[in-house]
Structure 1
């Protein structure tokens, strides 16, 4: 399994309804994109105070690297990702991505 962890550095004036819609649409890709097994999202509680600039995030679970690659190049994912960049002030550098093989 691969955990695809994404943390969002949302701009101060981001649209919460737009974020919710994007999360809903990403969740609908589970089982549609082969190997996309699970999707979880929510606010970053940052209990240790180490990531205050990233108030929201999500985790996708993929069966293997091929499934993650398929997701990465899927036009639905790319469209949703572009919308997330907009919510993060138009700067893709405000989005952190970690891929953890477990």
Structure 2
């Protein structure tokens, strides 16, 4: 079963451009992962400091491989001081039904 989630965080005032650059570089790496299906980065129209990342992985093993990728820890170490939250807020999603 695919692993699907939404990661959310808000850039601190004045850090939006740096966060956008960081997440853009990170997205290029994640999209190359064998088990990654989607890694789409958005900002909220009403608040461009609010970032939403829609992620889909082939299965739980692919998601675990993503979590253990060598560039993930360093990315988060640089990101956390630039965002309002203590870390990305993750919401795991399940499809409503196969027919939809």
- Return the TM-score normalized by structure 1: 0.73
2:91 is aligned, of 89, 94, 98, to 98
Contact 1:30-1:37 within 8 A present in 2 as well: no
Contact preservation (8 Å) 2:10, 2:50: yes
State the 4+ residue runs in structure 1 displaced beyond 3 angstroms: none
* Map of 1:49 onto structure 2: none
Unpaired segments ≥5 residues, structure 2: 96-100
- Greater RCO (Cα-Cα under 8 Å, separation 6 or more): 1
Change in Cα spacing, 1:4 to 1:78, as seen in structure 2 (3 Å) is farther
Please name the residue that 2:50 is paired with: 55
Where does residue 75 of structure 2 map in the other structure?
80
State how many pairs are aligned.
93
* Counterpart residue number, 1:67: 62
Correspondence 1:3 to 2:1: no
Length-normalised TM-score, structure 2 = 0.74
Q: Tell me, in whole angstroms, the C-alpha distance in 2 between the residues paired with 1:68 and 1:42.
A: 20
Q: Which has the larger radius of gyration?
A: 2
Q: Distance in 1 between matches of 2:58 and 2:86?
A: 26
